[in-house]
C-alpha cells in the first residue's frame, strides 16, 4: 500500500478556524481539506437543513418538464415511469411513481430486463408504451444518449422527459425536456446529483407548482439517500444534505420496503455504510438475479406484510448472488493464472456462461487481488457484454473511448462502465485495451493508495475528538471517513489472527507512559501479524465498538508497516 499524507493547510487558516469553532488544529485541518474555511461553512456542513436544497427550476428544461407532466394529468394521459435496473434507477422509479400516484392514477412503471433488453431505453420499452396507450415516458437514470430511441418514440407520438446524471454526448436527445445537471448549457449550482436525485428535483418542482412545501417531500428522502450511497456519487453539497436528511428518515420512519429489509437483518441504527452494504445490495440483487421490478414493488409497497414477503424473496436473490459472485471470481482468478497474465497492466477475462448480473461485482473483487483496470465479459445473446471497473485515479471511460473501433456500445463513468462488442472483436479489444492502459496509466496507480488526513499521536484521540469526527458523517467520496497515521506504536503481546480463516488481525495497541491501550481490528490484515511483534506504524480510521454493553473507541486498521 502507498501511504500518501495530504498536504497540511496554511497555519494561519488552521489557527483561525480552530479559534472560530473552538476545536483542535487536527480537526480544523480535516475540515479545511473538505472545503470548510469559516463558521458559516461549518454550520452548513455539520447541520444540513432543507434550506440547503437548491431551487429545482435552476435545472435547464425544468419548466418544460413540469408543463408536460401537468398537461398529461389535465388530459388524463397514461404516464410510464421508466428506469434502469440498478439501485439508482429502481429507487428513482419508485420515488417518481409513488409521488405522482398520490394525486394521479394513470401511472405505470417499467424496468428493462437486464438480459433481454440491456441498459437504458429499449425499443421493447417504447413498443410496450405504444401497445398500452402511454403518450409520455419519464426516463430516470438513463436516456442522455438515447437519441435514436427518443426519435423512434417520437414517430409513435410518445414524448420523453429524460432525468439523467450521466455525462452527455455531443448531441442531446430531442426529448420534450432533458434534465441533467451535467449538460454544458445547464447552470444548476450542483452537478453531482445521482439519477434518483434528478428525479427528486422533478417532484420538488411539481410539488412547488402545487403549493406543497419541501417538508412534504421529506418521506421520499430515504430513497434518495439509498441511491446516493449506492451510486458512489460525491458526498458533498446537495448530495450530502439529501443523504443526511434521508438517513434520518431511514432510521426513524422509512417506507415499508426499507423497513422490511432492516427488520430482516436485525439492525437498529444504520449509517450510510450500512446503506451501502445492507440495503443497496439487496435492492440490486433483484435486477441482477431476477428482475428490477421486484425492487420497485418492494420500495412502493404500502402493506407492510406484503413488503416482508417481497423482502424475503429479495433476500434469497441476494444469497444466490453472493454464491455466484464467489464462484465466478474464483474461476476468473484461475483464468488469470492459467493465461499467465499476472504481470499485465489490465485484467480482461471472459467466459460465456458467467452470469451477466454479477460481472460488475466480480470485476471489483478481481481488483482486490490484482489492483488494475478490470473488465469481465460474458455472452449476451449474439454479443459479448462486459462490466468495467477501475482503480483510483485512472479514467476507464476514457480508455474505452480509445478502443471504440472494437466496441459496439458503451457508457458509464470514470470508474465504472459497461460495454458490448462482437465476439470476433474480443481478442483485438483485449490487446488494444492492455496497450492503452500500459501507455497511459501512471505505474504508481497500480499500487493501492491510503490517503492519510493527518499524522497524530494516539493521545489526541479524546471522546470530544471522536464525537466531532462522527458528526462529519455521512461519509462518501470527497468526504471520506478521516484516516490517521501514528508511528512507533506497540502491541501488548496478545495480538492474534481472528476469523474462521484467520484472515483478520486483532491487536491491543499501547501508548503513552501510563501504557493506555486501544483495541484495534484490521480486516484482511491477518497476514501482517508478524509486523506487530516490534514497534510499527499504523494507518487507521476511528470506529465504535460495543461489547458486553460497553462502548469504546476502536482503531479500524487500514494497514501497518
Residue 35 lies in a domain: no
Residue 149 near residue 121 (C-beta atoms within 8 A):
yes
Q: What is the pLDDT of residues 315-334, one digit of tens each?
A: 999 999 999 999 999 999 99
Tally the domains of the chain: 3
Residue 415 pLDDT class (50, 70, 90 cuts): confident
Provide the pLDDT for residue 551: 85
Provide the pLDDT for residue 476: 93
Residues 414, 289 share a domain: no
Residues 239, 96 share a domain: yes
Provide the pLDDT for residue 229: 95
Considering only CA atoms, give the Rg of the chain. Answer: 25
This model's pTM is above 0.75: yes
Residues 246, 108 share a domain: yes
Provide the pLDDT for residue 118: 80
Residue 472 lies in a domain: yes
Residue 305 lies in a domain: yes
The answer to whether residue 543 scores a pLDDT higher than 80 is yes
Residues 364, 281 share a domain: no
Residues 474, 343 share a domain: no
Residues 294, 259 share a domain: yes
Residue 357 lies in a domain: yes
Provide the pLDDT for residue 116: 84
- What percent of the chain is modeled with pLDDT above 90? 88
Contacts of 146 (CB under 8 A, 6+ apart): 120, 121, 139, 162, 173
C-alpha cell of residue 319:
444469497
Provide the pLDDT for residue 287: 82
Residue 512 pLDDT class (50, 70, 90 cuts): confident
Q: What is the pLDDT of residues 129-168, one digit of tens each?
A: 999 999 999 999 999 999 999 999 999 999 999 999 998 9
Q: What is the pLDDT of residues 16-69, one digit of tens each?
A: 999 999 999 999 999 999 999 899 999 999 999 999 999 999 999 999 999 999
Residue 2 lies in a domain: no
Residues 275, 177 share a domain: yes
Residues 288, 350 share a domain: no
Residues 92, 69 share a domain: yes
C-alpha cell of residue 529:
501479524
CATH number for the domain including 185?
A: 3.90.1640.30
Residue 155 lies in a domain: yes
Q: What is the pLDDT of residues 69-78, one digit of tens each?
A: 999 999 999 9
Q: Which of 314, 348, 381 delimits the end of a domain?
A: 314
Residue 45 lies in a domain: no
Residue 36 lies in a domain: no
Looking at residue 403, what DSSP letter applies? T
Contacts of 56 (CB under 8 A, 6+ apart): 62, 201, 202, 204, 205, 208
Q: Which of 446, 479, 499 delimits the end of a domain?
A: 446
Residues 349, 279 share a domain: no
CATH number for the domain including 362?
A: 3.10.310.30
Residues 379, 458 share a domain: no
Q: Which domain holds residue 513?
A: 450-560
Residues 306, 408 share a domain: no
CATH number for the domain including 537?
A: 2.40.50.460
Residue 289 pLDDT class (50, 70, 90 cuts): confident
Q: Which of 446, 462, 495 delimits the end of a domain?
A: 446
Closest CA to 442 of 370, 345, 364, 348: 345
Provide the pLDDT for residue 412: 77
Amino acid at each position: 500500500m502507498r501511504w500518501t499524507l495530504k498536504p497540511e493547510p496554511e497555519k494561519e487558516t488552521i489557527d483561525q478556524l480552530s479559534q472560530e469553532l473552538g476545536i483542535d488544529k487536527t480537526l480544523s485541518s480535516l475540515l479545511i481539506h473538505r472545503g470548510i474555511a469559516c463558521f458559516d461553512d461549518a454550520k452548513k456542513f455539520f447541520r444540513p437543513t432543507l434550506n440547503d436544497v437548491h431551487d429545482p427550476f435552476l435545472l435547464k428544461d425544468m419548466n418544460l418538464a413540469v408543463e408536460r407532466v401537468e398537461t398529461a394529468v389535465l388530459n388524463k394521459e397514461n404516464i410510464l415511469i421508466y428506469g434502469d435496473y440498478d439501485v439508482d434507477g429502481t429507487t428513482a422509479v419508485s420515488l417518481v411513481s409513488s409521488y405522482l400516484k398520490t394525486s394521479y392514477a394513470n401511472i405505470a412503471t417499467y424496468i428493462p430486463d437486464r438480459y433481454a433488453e440491456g441498459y437504458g431505453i429499449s425499443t421493447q420499452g417504447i413498443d410496450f408504451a405504444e401497445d398500452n396507450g402511454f403518450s409520455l415516458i419519464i426516463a430516470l437514470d438513463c436516456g442522455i444518449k438515447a437519441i435514436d430511441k427518443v426519435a423512434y418514440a417520437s414517430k409513435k407520438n410518445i414524448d420523453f422527459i429524460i432525468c439523467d446524471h450521466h455525462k452527455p454526448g455531443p448531441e442531446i436527445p430531442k426529448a420534450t425536456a432533458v434534465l441533467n445537471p451535467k449538460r454544458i448549457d445547464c447552470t444548476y449550482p450542483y452537478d453531482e446529483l445521482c439519477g434518483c436525485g434528478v428525479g427528486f428535483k422533478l417532484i420538488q418542482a411539481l410539488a412547488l407548482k402545487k403549493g406543497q412545501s419541501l417538508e412534504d417531500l421529506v418521506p421520499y428522502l430515504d430513497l434518495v439517500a439509498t441511491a446516493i450511497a449506492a451510486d458512489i456519487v460525491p458526498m458533498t453539497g446537495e448530495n450530502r444534505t439529501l443523504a443526511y436528511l434521508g438517513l434520518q428518515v431511514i432510521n426513524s420512519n422509512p417506507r415499508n420496503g426499507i423497513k422490511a429489509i432492516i427488520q430482516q437483518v436485525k439492525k437498529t441504527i444504520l449509517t450510510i455504510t450500512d446503506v451501502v452494504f445492507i440495503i443497496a445490495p439487496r435492492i440490486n440483487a433483484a435486477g441482477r438475479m431476477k428482475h428490477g421490478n421486484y425492487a420497485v414493488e418492494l420500495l412502493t409497497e404500502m402493506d407492510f406484510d406484503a413488503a416482508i414477503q417481497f423482502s424475503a424473496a429479495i433476500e434469497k436473490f441476494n444469497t444466490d448472488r453472493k454464491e455466484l459472485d464467489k464462484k465466478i471470481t474464483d474461476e476468473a482468478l484461475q483464468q488469470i493464472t492459467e493465461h499467465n497474465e499476472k504481470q499485465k497492466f489490465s485484467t480482461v477475462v471472459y467466459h460465456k456462461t458467467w452470469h451477466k448480473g454479477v460481472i460488475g461485482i466480480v470485476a471489483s473483487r478481481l481488483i482486490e487481488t490484482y489492483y488494475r483496470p478490470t473488465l469481465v465479459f460474458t455472452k449476451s445473446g449474439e454479443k459479448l457484454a462486459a462490466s468495467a471497473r477501475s482503480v483510483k485515479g485512472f479514467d476507464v471511460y476514457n480508455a474505452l473511448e480509445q478502443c471504440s473501433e472494437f466496441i459496439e456500445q458503451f457508457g458509464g463513468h470514470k470508474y465504472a462502465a459497461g460495454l458490448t462488442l462482437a465476439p470476433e472483436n474480443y481478442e483485438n479489444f483485449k490487446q488494444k485495451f492492455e496497450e492503452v492502459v500500459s501507455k497511459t496509466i501512471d505505474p504508481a496507480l497500480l499500487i493501492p493508495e491510503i490517503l492519510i488526513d493527518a499524522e497524530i499521536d494516539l493521545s489526541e484521540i479524546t471522546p470530544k475528538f471522536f464525537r466531532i469526527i462522527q458528526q462529519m458523517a455521512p461519509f462518501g467520496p470527497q468526504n471520506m471517513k478521516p484516516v490517521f497515521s501514528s508511528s512507533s506504536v506497540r502491541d501488548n503481546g496478545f495480538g492474534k489472527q481472528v476469523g474462521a480463516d484467520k484472515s483478520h488481525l486483532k491487536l491491543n495497541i499501547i501508548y503513552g507512559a501510563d501504557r493506555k491501550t486501544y483495541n484495534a481490528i484490521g480486516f484482511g490484515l491477518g497476514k501482517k501479524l508478524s509486523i506487530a511483534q516490534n514497534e510499527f506504524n499504523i494507518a487507521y480510521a476511528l470506529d465504535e465498538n460495543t461489547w458486553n454493553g460497553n462502548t469504546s473507541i476502536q482503531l479500524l486498521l487500514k494497514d501497518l508497516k
